[in-house]
Structure 1
Amino acid sequence: MSVIARAEERPALLFANGHALSYAELDSRMQRFADRLGGGKRLVAIAADLSEHVIVAYLGALRAGHAVAMLPPCDERLWDDFRDAFQPDFTYRQVDQRWRLVAETKPDAVGQPLHPDLALLLMTSGTSGAAKAVRLSCANLDSNARAIADYLKLSPSDRTALVLPLHYSYGLSVLHSHLVAGGSIFLPGMSVMDSAFARAIGESGCTNLSGVPYSYELMEKAGFRSAMPDGLRFMTVAGGRLGPDLIRLYRDHMHASGGQFFVMYGQTEATARIAFIPPDCLSDNEERIGIAIPGGSLDLVDDEGRRVVDAGVTGELVYRGPNVMMGYGERRADLARGAEVHELRTGDIGMRCEGGLFRIVGRKARFAKIAGLRIGFDIMEQALARHDIAAAVLGDDARLQVYVDDAALAETARHILVEASRLPANLISVSVRQNLPRLGSGKIDYARLAEEMLETRSRRQSEAHSLIEAFAAVFYPVPVGRNDSFVSLGGDSLRFLQLTLELDRLCLVLPEGWERMRLAELGARPEISRPPARGEAAPVPSDLLLRAFAIMMVVIHHQMLWPIPGGSGVMMLLVGFSLARFQSAHLLAGRFHHMLRSAGNVLIPYFLIVAAYAFVWRTMPWASLTLTGNFGYAEPERHEMIPYLYWFIEAYAQTLLVFSLIFALPVARSLAAKRLFAFSLALLGLAIAARFSMPLLVGQGKRQIFTLYWVFHICVFGWCAGLADTREKKLAVTGMAIAMLGYLGFGESLWIGTTMKYMSILAALLVLLYKPHLRLPAALSRFVTVIAASAFPIYLLHRFVPELLMTPAFDGLASPAFDIVAIAGGIAVGVSANRAISRLGSLSWILTARRWLAA
């Protein structure tokens, strides 16, 4: 490629460490490498690492007129097959961490000849063991590079960030087109998910960035758009189908900053690019591939080879242009042949749409391009068959779909296909199907499986949409996007319970650990499923069951004064558990606004109750207003505080304050970040010390049971339980709990109720540690969910029923009947209040849901 032979001092290649090569230096380095290869036309196989050495070697070999094979650097199987089939004259790769040019044939040996036009060999698939290569000429490379530079309007002032592999035609086309235009290439040397990636390409002066769909998915996950540098003139995507949602996001983002977003389509057999959508035509055309690149043409033909001219009629997409390959090669002898292909039958089924844009609607052959890799379905089935796994493999540009008939082999099949396809595991779905559908001939009915795949995906998309709606309703007015998670949105125990109700209403059951998954990932998970049928047992999170149990204990104890205290203690335990589960990451990062929002959900209704008492009493209960009534200096009888039963709300607020103050200290956050569980055990030790020492310093008599120092250690036990993710950690918490709670329940106790209280707390803690889920009949699990989700409203309102609403009926009801009605009524009032609040939030959310979902 003599077009890049420039003796200029402006930069050609730049690297993350600050090193740069000018065009003059690159030209000199290329010539030196070309001289090392000697005369004649040779085949040079290069390990296509994204590095200075490789770029110099590749361009130098082309400069000398040799043919170059760019191979994946770490695929030893492919390298062995390539050597056997094509007998390269030279290999250039790292040996003992040094780049070495190795002569594979003797200098005076005359191998099978190579065609004079042959310039580049690229493998058709990163998945197949067959060494089948695309043969490309210098004219192919030059014409495609110039066409790309033309429609992207590249100039010497353009600089790209090259993140695509160089054994991939798309990556090479980025290199070629910028060098042809006299631009420069920056090699960031890091993943697009790296937190410093956006800053690096901004500081390097990049004007554009190209990626495959998977690159954009990773960048979106890493928050690239929010950190995107201002200097990007355009971005491009090719190598598969990018979802319409992401196209719109990046199209709109680039448009807002004065840039452009190019959606492109190509195949290695056409050197790189075949078609693109002009950015001003992209709106509402996200499903199209666009128009042919400059110098090329697109057409459609039917099964008989006749040209399809009508819009909306499907046919195989055919491309003609100077960038169409010379042909395929399977062995060295094939490399002596000249150009044999004059039009490219792409294998894609497409149609011509209004405005002359083309659209892909399906595949003619059994392959798909996923994350930039062309995956052969038959090859994948053969890979599984070698491990005695009978399977049917199909898919599309989004993911690989595999059907196996044995559930025990599902994970093994996924592991094999990750190895064989080089795809990430999250792009491979494995489903169990007892009897694969067959045609009359006995062959697998792939058409029927494809329909099932599309139906399943459509159902999951509907479930994912419902999932986002549920999140948006629960978190209103906080905006919810597809890259948010329950934890990142600042979810807390109350919203967890509200969301549980929403999911139960939508009949959705989520996988373990869902609270930390992005909604986009969660909606695509195969594990999302329908709940058990009536009569079947359903798994219920143990903290949800304990919350329902605890609030029932509180209501019954307050009404009947039976010796069953402990409900408030279990609720305090759950406060700590929920803080660890949902807020620990925010506390470690010093983000306290999420905790303030959580507190508001409980304190706003509490202050409304305080205001009601103030209105009736004609005086302000300042102790309750300041959330300090549990300190023992005020009395409800003097209207200085509202009734004692609300001590838990005050202790809850004080607990959040203490955690915020602790993690507001940089030194505390630093220690916790290094060893969070050890830090938590130390915090538990301090809480236990406060439990025994504070009563000696501050005497409050019997009312000390309402103070924070009396119950804070229970909360910290819950916090430790939420962080205990190993057997050793769980045993450590168990040992400390048995010693502490056992002593309080038996050694310090003077009343049977106290013993029952601490044994209830200990039992609840052990359930949290060792039984994260408990199975209940479906109907009972729904009842438990409703009670647990309404726990705070029940706590706040349940005493209004016997003390206000039932006063006229007190004389007419026997004591047992009165108690039963009071307990049931208190629970019903709390459940009704919770539903009313949820409906009010849903009504508010509906007004803005369309805007949020679009975002």
Structure 2
Amino acid sequence: MPSIDLVPEIARGESRTALLFADGRALSYAELNSRTLRFATQLGQGEKLLVAISAEASEHVVVAYLGALRAGHAVAMMPPCDERLWNDFLAAFQPDFTFRPADGRWRLIKETRPGRDAQPLHPDLALLLMTSGSSGAAKAVRLSYGNLEANARSIAAYLELSSADRAALVLPLHYSYGLSVLNSHLIAGGSVLFPGVSVMNGDFLGVIGDAGCTNFSGVPYSYELLERARFRAAELKALRMMTVAGGQLRSDLVRLYRDHMHAKSGRFFVMYGQTEATARIAFVPPESLSDSEERIGIAIPGGSLGLVDAEGKPISQSGTPGELVYRGPNVMMGYGDRRCDLARGAELEALNTGDIAMRDEQGFFRIVGRKSRFAKIAGLRIGFDIMEQVLGRAGIAAAVLGDDEGLQAYVTDADMTGRAQRILTEASRLPANLVCVAARENFPRLASGKIDYACLEQERLKRRAEVRSETGSVLGAYRRVFYPLTVGCNDSFVTLGGDSLRFLQLVMELERLDVHLPDGWEHQSIAELGNRGGRWPFKRKEAGGLPTELVLRAMAILLVVVHHETLWPIPGGSGVMMLLAGFSLARFQSTHFLTGRFRHALRPAIDVLVPYFLIVAAYAVAWQAVPWASITLTGNFGYAEPERHEMIPYLYWFIEAYAQTLLVFSLIFAAPAARRLAQVRPFAFSLGLLGLAVAARFSIPPFVDIGNRQIFTIYWVFHLAVFGWCAGFADNPARKLILTALAAAVLGYLALWETVWLGTTVKYLTIFAALLAVLYVPRVRLPGGVGRVVTLIAVSAFPIYLSHRFVPEALLAPVARTLPAPFFHLLAITGGIGIGIVAGKAWASLRNLLSRSAMGRQPELHSV
């Protein structure tokens, strides 16, 4: 049978590294050669077979891929975590073997199914890649051995790859661009690093730097993430080349990375390609990159580009738009929908890309539009019709369109916008900030009754222009609150990793701008907020009062301060704060927990733990001893004493319990099965989690005797956070009623039956009242002056909690015995609140100062 070997003859038998992994493991060319030969032997070289591989970033996958090609078989590289696509593929293409993990091991499994299509595969067929990724039916691009080799050698040639090159492979192997990085480096005798972490991981720069990577290839979204990770500030001495493809990179980022690589005597390549052409079609030579680059460049070596008009006639003059047509040895054999299609030979001489382009006088091409309804967003090819079908199956009528900057959907039911965004985010595999959903009364229609997408597109572009011209101050507010993160108009409060503290800070920032935020705004992009009923900004006369959780937070911290000073029987403040912590996690972090993005989910802890550890450090200096229990955030478990300087005072137990709550949620959602269940049935999953938390509250204390300090432990208070979490998912009357009944039973029992003193009764009844308010009273109307004071206290809740006891125990200590007790208590309470507000304002002022300084140095970011 015909076959291909991407490992060149000159590299065989050598000890030079071929594959490298973050944990230090490496495969030499000699080892890779022997392992691929063993895999090829397993498959045999008789009848040509189709092998479907779960394309994880793994040495097992690379060995299987190369081994199958060496044996002359055909390979299908499949997304590893999409069972629906796998099932569609198995039914349509009936692979002879599958290679994927099972029971903790990689297994080569022979597939035997009745009714298998016995028609032989075409001898030239080498590779199947799915065109629509995770979001469409099992339609495949058929690529030949010649396609793979021609494209790999062409890329290696114009990038001037050699055995000295080492690529950092961050792109998936089922994606044609990622696979081409592997192919081109191996055929040049170079090496490939699998970093094992995303570009946003704090270890990423160190991993690729230590590995001596010379090359980095990414999609446009990869470069936006690199900017957030401050990639250009890193010292990567070996880096000599960077490439981008998979969509249009913003011209400002092209300029930044062109100049960055030029300063390092390296090169930056802007490229264009399609899976149908085995990945690459065109590139812009680094020396030709302009300051406002929007071109895709010239054809790769061995290929040619041209334009045709609507009738298929060639366009020779420059400046005239037409469909881009590519010719070259890497053009696919054709598409395939089922097994019998794999018997067909090459059916195309040229590839009509579906992109509308123009050629300039220098012979460079530029994409100006799309011929069909799809777009490449963050490197993924997204079909708009497929996205509409996904929403239709969920009972949501929608019109979907978009461009390289993101996906835009319109629905006619305003209550479905949040659900539609979650469905589209999951189906498209796009980050949430690249998916926008807006409501409109109806869809514009053509005379034929079909949706008038041209009208919607004009409306979308007009609204985008309005938003970009009108949201400057709002965008500035977001940037001040989220400094030092980079914020663009397509970001939302949730995707930026917002939390309850930043929520309150942003409310204050926007109040100064006389802006009212609509319900559900935290899930909407800054740009989409401008699409909801009229021009931006929304004025205060449209507001319906302060959010209830903001008022409750202010009341809770006041209860804490008063209780700590007077020991009156009103100890419910910290319990309400724990309830609100869970509610905040559900509102702002649940998307990150449910998708496994724990770095974003845990980001809120930074604003609490940094000042907490500063306080711990202050105590350590004053005591000349290290309070290890507080440093490890475990002082609330009753094994340490402040008197022995093992922990700081008991009142900080809430910070420890809050951090432990985040840890427990992270451990729960670290299990993929838990995430899948929570995504499908979030409220039911939350009730199950509540049952476990309540069971822990009643079952653990009898077996753990730590006296009265058990009330500070995580198992004693975790159920309060879960009640708040459940409230975040109680989005209809039936769910609210269920949660109310459960809370009445549990909190009522604790308040009226298990109570040991009046304070316990007041505590749990206060928490129950707060839960009812969260469920049934979304906003609270207050007089203007009172509302501003309440907002100020709520925004400063954590600074007040951390610092309020310094007033009576440090500042007022010298005069404690000379002042009347009521007056001293009043000074302690008002002073504690005041010092917390001052600390909060000082931090906000510092953040705003740094933000303005940074914004003055950075360009405006309006796209993905």
Q: Would the TM-score normalized by the shorter structure come out above 0.5?
A: yes
Query: Comparing 274-283 with 133-142, which one deviates more in the overlay?
Result: 274-283
Query: Given residue 505 of structure 1, which amino acid in structure 2 is its aligned partner?
Result: L
Counterpart CA distance in 1 for 2:269 and 2:636 is: 46
- Residue correspondence of structure 1 range 483-498 to structure 2 within 5 A: none
Counterpart CA distance in 1 for 2:427 and 2:497 is: 38
Q: Which residue number in structure 2 is paired with residue 340 of structure 1? A: 347
Query: Comparing 390-399 with 307-316, which one deviates more in the overlay?
Result: 307-316
Q: Which residue number in structure 2 is paired with residue 611 of structure 1? A: none
**Counterpart contact for 1:158–1:184, Cα < 8 Å:** yes
Counterpart CA distance in 2 for 1:676 and 1:241 is: 54
Q: Which residue number in structure 2 is paired with residue 28 of structure 1? A: 34
Which structure 1 segments of 5+ residues have no match?
A: 550-565, 567-572, 596-654, 689-715, 744-758, 793-837
Query: Given residue 588 of structure 1, which amino acid in structure 2 is its aligned partner?
Result: L
1:321 aligns with 2:328: yes
Counterpart CA distance in 2 for 1:462 and 1:678 is: 58
Pick from 423, 428, 432: which aligns with 1:421? 428
Q: Which residue number in structure 1 is paired with residue 593 of structure 2? A: none
Secondary structure at the counterpart of residue 13 of structure 2: coil
Pick closer, same or farther for the CA change 1:502–1:311 going to 2, 3 Å. farther
Pick closer, same or farther for the CA change 1:19–1:188 going to 2, 3 Å. same
Q: Which residue number in structure 1 is paired with residue 809 of structure 2? A: none
Deviation at 1:437, TM superposition (A): 1.2
Query: Given residue 138 of structure 1, which amino acid in structure 2 is its aligned partner?
Result: Y
Deviation at 1:169, TM superposition (A): 0.9
String of CA shifts for 1:480-539, please: whole Å, max 9, x gaps.
84399999999999997798356543636388897xx9xxx9645659975655744433
1:289 aligns with 2:296: yes
Pick closer, same or farther for the CA change 1:218–1:673 going to 2, 3 Å. farther
Query: Given residue 207 of structure 2, which amino acid in structure 1 is its aligned partner?
Result: A
Q: Which residue number in structure 1 is paired with residue 517 of structure 2? A: 509
Query: Comparing 73-82 with 261-270, which one deviates more in the overlay?
Result: 73-82
Query: Comparing 841-850 with 328-337, which one deviates more in the overlay?
Result: 841-850
Deviation at 1:283, TM superposition (A): 3.8
Q: Which residue number in structure 1 is paired with residue 21 of structure 2? A: 15
Q: Which residue number in structure 1 is paired with residue 46 of structure 2? A: 40
Secondary structure at the counterpart of residue 430 of structure 1: strand
Query: Comparing 205-214 with 452-461, which one deviates more in the overlay?
Result: 452-461
Q: Which residue number in structure 1 is paired with residue 412 of structure 2? A: 405
String of CA shifts for 1:284-328, please: whole Å, max 9, x gaps.
234332222222222222212233344443221111222111111
Pick closer, same or farther for the CA change 1:785–1:460 going to 2, 3 Å. farther
**Counterpart contact for 1:44–1:69, Cα < 8 Å:** yes
Query: Given residue 30 of structure 1, which amino acid in structure 2 is its aligned partner?
Result: T
**Counterpart contact for 2:219–2:378, Cα < 8 Å:** yes
**Counterpart contact for 1:367–1:374, Cα < 8 Å:** yes
Counterpart CA distance in 2 for 1:194 and 1:843 is: 27
Counterpart CA distance in 2 for 1:495 and 1:403 is: 27
Percent of aligned pairs with the same residue?
Answer: 54
1:366 aligns with 2:373: yes
Pick from 532, 540, 544: which aligns with 2:546? 540
1:305 aligns with 2:327: no
Pick closer, same or farther for the CA change 1:544–1:665 going to 2, 3 Å. farther
Pick from 170, 174, 179: which aligns with 1:172? 179
Pick from 631, 653, 669: which aligns with 1:670? 631
Q: Which residue number in structure 1 is paired with residue 190 of structure 2? A: 183
Secondary structure at the counterpart of residue 538 of structure 1: coil
Pick from 274, 294, 301: which aligns with 1:267? 274
Query: Comparing 44-53 with 532-541, which one deviates more in the overlay?
Result: 532-541
Deviation at 1:62, TM superposition (A): 1.2
Counterpart CA distance in 2 for 1:128 and 1:543 is: 38
**Counterpart contact for 1:316–1:346, Cα < 8 Å:** yes
Pick closer, same or farther for the CA change 1:728–1:407 going to 2, 3 Å. closer
Q: Which residue number in structure 2 is paired with residue 115 of structure 1? A: 122
Query: Given residue 201 of structure 2, which amino acid in structure 1 is its aligned partner?
Result: D
Secondary structure at the counterpart of residue 672 of structure 1: coil
Pick closer, same or farther for the CA change 1:500–1:441 going to 2, 3 Å. same
1:62 aligns with 2:69: yes
Pick from 2, 5, 22: which aligns with 1:2? 5
Q: Which residue number in structure 1 is paired with residue 460 of structure 2? A: 453
Pick from 86, 90, 94: which aligns with 1:87? 94
**Counterpart contact for 1:501–1:785, Cα < 8 Å:** no
**Counterpart contact for 2:49–2:95, Cα < 8 Å:** yes
Counterpart CA distance in 1 for 2:508 and 2:382 is: 39
Counterpart CA distance in 2 for 1:490 and 1:39 is: 56
Pick from 53, 57, 63: which aligns with 1:50? 57
Pick from 117, 123, 132: which aligns with 1:125? 132
**Counterpart contact for 1:53–1:99, Cα < 8 Å:** yes
TM-score by length of 2: 0.65
Deviation at 1:386, TM superposition (A): 2.8
String of CA shifts for 1:661-701, please: whole Å, max 9, x gaps.
7999663652437879999999775699xxxxxxxxxxxxx
TM-score by length of 1: 0.66
Secondary structure at the counterpart of residue 351 of structure 1: strand
Q: Cα RMSD over matched residues? A: 5.8
Pick closer, same or farther for the CA change 1:252–1:330 going to 2, 3 Å. same
Query: Given residue 380 of structure 1, which amino acid in structure 2 is its aligned partner?
Result: M
**Counterpart contact for 2:514–2:539, Cα < 8 Å:** no
The alignment covers a number of residue pairs equal to 688
Counterpart CA distance in 2 for 1:513 and 1:674 is: 38
Pick closer, same or farther for the CA change 1:225–1:724 going to 2, 3 Å. farther
Q: Which residue number in structure 1 is paired with residue 204 of structure 2? A: 197
**Counterpart contact for 1:536–1:777, Cα < 8 Å:** no
Pick from 487, 496, 507: which aligns with 1:482? 487
Query: Given residue 128 of structure 2, which amino acid in structure 1 is its aligned partner?
Result: L
Counterpart CA distance in 2 for 1:687 and 1:13 is: 49
Which protein shows a greater Rg? Answer: 1
Counterpart CA distance in 2 for 1:157 and 1:99 is: 31
1:279 aligns with 2:286: yes
Deviation at 1:19, TM superposition (A): 2.3
Pick closer, same or farther for the CA change 1:27–1:512 going to 2, 3 Å. same
Counterpart CA distance in 1 for 2:499 and 2:622 is: 20
Secondary structure at the counterpart of residue 13 of structure 1: strand
Pick closer, same or farther for the CA change 1:394–1:360 going to 2, 3 Å. same
Q: Which residue number in structure 2 is paired with residue 585 of structure 1? A: 606
Deviation at 1:177, TM superposition (A): 0.4
Pick closer, same or farther for the CA change 1:501–1:686 going to 2, 3 Å. closer
Secondary structure at the counterpart of residue 37 of structure 2: helix
String of CA shifts for 1:357-394, please: whole Å, max 9, x gaps.
32222211111222332222222222233333322122
Pick from 211, 219, 228: which aligns with 1:212? 219
**Counterpart contact for 1:586–1:592, Cα < 8 Å:** no
Secondary structure at the counterpart of residue 143 of structure 1: helix
Secondary structure at the counterpart of residue 313 of structure 2: coil
Secondary structure at the counterpart of residue 448 of structure 1: helix
Deviation at 1:32, TM superposition (A): 2.0
Q: Which residue number in structure 2 is paired with residue 706 of structure 1? A: none
Pick closer, same or farther for the CA change 1:22–1:767 going to 2, 3 Å. closer
Pick closer, same or farther for the CA change 1:92–1:375 going to 2, 3 Å. same
Counterpart CA distance in 2 for 1:847 and 1:191 is: 29
Pick closer, same or farther for the CA change 1:83–1:656 going to 2, 3 Å. closer
Secondary structure at the counterpart of residue 434 of structure 1: coil
Pick closer, same or farther for the CA change 1:458–1:305 going to 2, 3 Å. same
Deviation at 1:217, TM superposition (A): 3.9
String of CA shifts for 1:58-103, please: whole Å, max 9, x gaps.
1111112222222223333333333333333333233333333333
Counterpart CA distance in 2 for 1:339 and 1:389 is: 40
String of CA shifts for 1:692-737, please: whole Å, max 9, x gaps.
xxxxxxxxxxxxxxxxxxxxxxxx9xxxx9x9856589989x99xx
